[in-house]
Amino acid sequence: MSDRPNVLKRRALRIEQDPNHPLFMFSLTGEDLLAVADMSRISRDDAGKVIGYQRSEVRKHVQDIIDYLNSSSVVFPNSIILALSSRAKFVKSRGPEVDDGCSASGTIEIPLPNDGDPKPAWIVDGQQRTLALCKSDRRKFPVPVNAFIADEVSLQRDQFLRVNNTRPLPRGLITELLPEVSTNLPARMAARRIPAAICDWLNLEPRSPFHRLIRRASMRSEEASHAVISDTSIVKTLEESITSPSGCLYPYRNVATGETDFDAICELLVTYWSAVRKTFPTAWGKPPEKSRLMHGAGIRAIGRLMDKIMPSIKARGKKGIELAEKELQLIAHHCRWTSGNWEAMNGLSWNEIQNVPRHIQMLSWVLIHAYLQAKGLT
């Protein structure tokens, strides 16, 4: 056994699954977890790269766990899942192999960081439970821990998404993390990876009309005050256009090979939505309570109109924007984004439009029908 100073040692079981990322089972107390593990919440660095991957603290849920831990009789079987730095070492116990070589007993040695140094573990699942343990009267209460060795943040994010796949994670958090995960994902998540990556580009690219207007889970408070569009609405709009054979983005996705022409998709989107911004300048960039164009229903509906307009517009850049704007002007007088009533929607007031399927469908129909009628196609 190692005599290294400042090392937390616990009896552990090593289970062989992936030799590059061994899995360990052991126990830690709340104090131990606080000493060795970080609770990294999602944010972005100065270059716009996603760092961290966890949801924010849910106070009521944490308090419920604290109340239970402070009660007279406690059973806490749910394990905390950690990603351990490769600085952690496993020392196998002497003796014969057991379980046909599937597992081995020994001691896990986790280095304790000096003040200011990064901690050697990250909580992949169990953030709320760990917070509750640290705030309860039972800081020395032992809980089961499952841990795997992984220095790669991409693997930690992958495991975080898989562990939380059946739980109600915030949609914005999933949307922002998906482009950062390179491994195979469940089908329903994999289908959203490409739209999520494009959404990320649209928000970070200075020439995009959506630049810094899309709300992301990682945004600082000062950035969020300027972001008025839900990333979920953008992702759903893109996903619908990419996956539907009638969508204008569908031809840029090779279903057989899985390849996607991201550059062509992004150029098309910049062209169309720049035209939308020029067509409705007084409605663009305002919070949804002041402009329903920036509202989920408005984004989805004008996005569906994109599928009707853009297949016939081959130009990009300034010329393409002018052509798209000319098409949008055909329906501009029907729109009530910031005031008035939608005549074709039984006089529904502009601010009564809600982000619900019925209103999205109605608004989409109004815009598309008005456009086709103006083009003499109905």
In a domain, 205, yes or no: yes
Instruction: Please choose, from the candidates 284, 194, 279, the residue with its C-alpha nearest in 3D space to the C-alpha of residue 241.
Output: 194
* Polymer length in residues for the chain: 378
How does DSSP classify residue 57? P
Same domain, 146 and 183: no
Same domain, 70 and 145: yes
pLDDT tens digits along 248-303: 999 998 777 777 888 899 999 999 999 999 999 999 999 999 999 999 999 999 99
In a domain, 337, yes or no: yes
Banded pLDDT at 334 (limits 50, 70, 90) = very high
pLDDT for residue 184:
46
Q: Where are the alpha helices (DSSP H) in the chain?
A: 30-36, 59-69, 127-135, 153-163, 171-177, 187-204, 221-224, 231-243, 262-279, 296-309, 317-332, 357-374
Same domain, 113 and 246: no
In a domain, 1, yes or no: no
**How far is residue 43's CA from residue 371's CA, in Å, rounded to a whole number?**
41
Q: Give the N- to C-terminal CA distance of the chain in Å, as an integer.
A: 81
Same domain, 106 and 217: no
In a domain, 13, yes or no: yes
374 token code pair: 């103006």
Same domain, 354 and 227: yes
Containing structural domain, residue 150 = 7-163
In a domain, 2, yes or no: no
How does DSSP classify residue 216? -
In a domain, 34, yes or no: yes
pLDDT for residue 368:
97
- Cα–Cα distances (Å) from 181 to 152, 155, 158, 217, 242, in that order, read 11, 7, 6, 16, 20
157 token code pair: 């994010």
Same domain, 208 and 339: yes
- Which of 107, 129, 163 is where one domain is finished? 163
Q: Taking residues 337-347, what's their average pLDDT?
A: 94
pLDDT tens digits along 152-181: 655 555 655 555 554 544 555 545 555 554
Taking 80 as the threshold, does the pLDDT of residue 52 lie above it?
no
230 token code pair: 């839900």
Same domain, 111 and 195: no
In a domain, 176, yes or no: yes
Same domain, 126 and 258: no
355 token code pair: 């982000």
Same domain, 118 and 178: no
pLDDT for residue 4:
46
Banded pLDDT at 21 (limits 50, 70, 90) = confident
Same domain, 111 and 70: yes
Same domain, 264 and 127: no
pLDDT tens digits along 74-126: 888 888 888 888 888 999 887 666 555 678 889 999 999 887 788 888 888 88
Q: Which residue has the tokens 């619908």?
A: 240
Same domain, 207 and 324: yes
pLDDT for residue 207:
94
- Which of 130, 163, 196 is where one domain is finished? 163
Let me know the angle formed at the C-alpha of 256 by 310 and 158, rounded to the nearest 5 degrees: 95
- How many domains does one find in the chain? 2
In a domain, 206, yes or no: yes
The answer to whether 321 touches 274, Cβ cutoff 8 Å, is: yes
Mean pLDDT, the chain, as a whole number? Answer: 82
- Which of 163, 189, 211 is where one domain is finished? 163
**How far is residue 145's CA from residue 29's CA, in Å, rounded to a whole number?**
10
